[in-house]
Amino acid sequence: AQEFANSKVTVIICDGCEYLKQHTNEFDVIITDSSDPDGPAKVLFEEPYYLLMKSALKQPY
């Protein structure tokens, strides 16, 4: 897709929880495209993941 060619866009495909633990106060936007809240993706629907995303957003948000 043409949008992914924009230098301002970075697509990261990995374990979101582990990635966010290593990156704080870095992002303007975080978009999570996950599967249903079953199996390994279940953690992406729980409060600790949302707190990780909050800490990864640039301050103030």
Per-residue model confidence as pLDDT tens digits over 41-53: 888 899 999 999 9
pLDDT beyond 80 at 15: yes
Residue 18 falls within a domain, yes or no? yes
Spatial distance between the Cα atoms of 55 and 58, rounded to a whole number of angstroms: 8
Whether 5 is in a domain gets the answer no
How many structural domains does the chain have? 1
Residues 6+ apart with CB under 8 A from 3: 9
Q: What is the mean pLDDT of residues 21-28?
A: 94
Confidence at 23, pLDDT banded by 50, 70, 90: very high
- For 40, residues 6+ apart whose C-beta sits below 8 A from its C-beta are none
Please state, in angstroms and rounded to a whole number, the distance separating the CA atoms of residues 39 and 43: 9
Residue 4 lies in a domain: no
- Told to judge if 28 belongs to the known catalytic residues of this protein, a careful annotator would answer no
Nearest to 56 by CA among 28, 36, 15, 31: 28
Whether the CB-CB separation of 26 and 56 falls below 8 Å is answered with yes
Residue 47: domain span: 10-56
Active site residue: 28, 33, 36, 38, which one?
Answer: 33
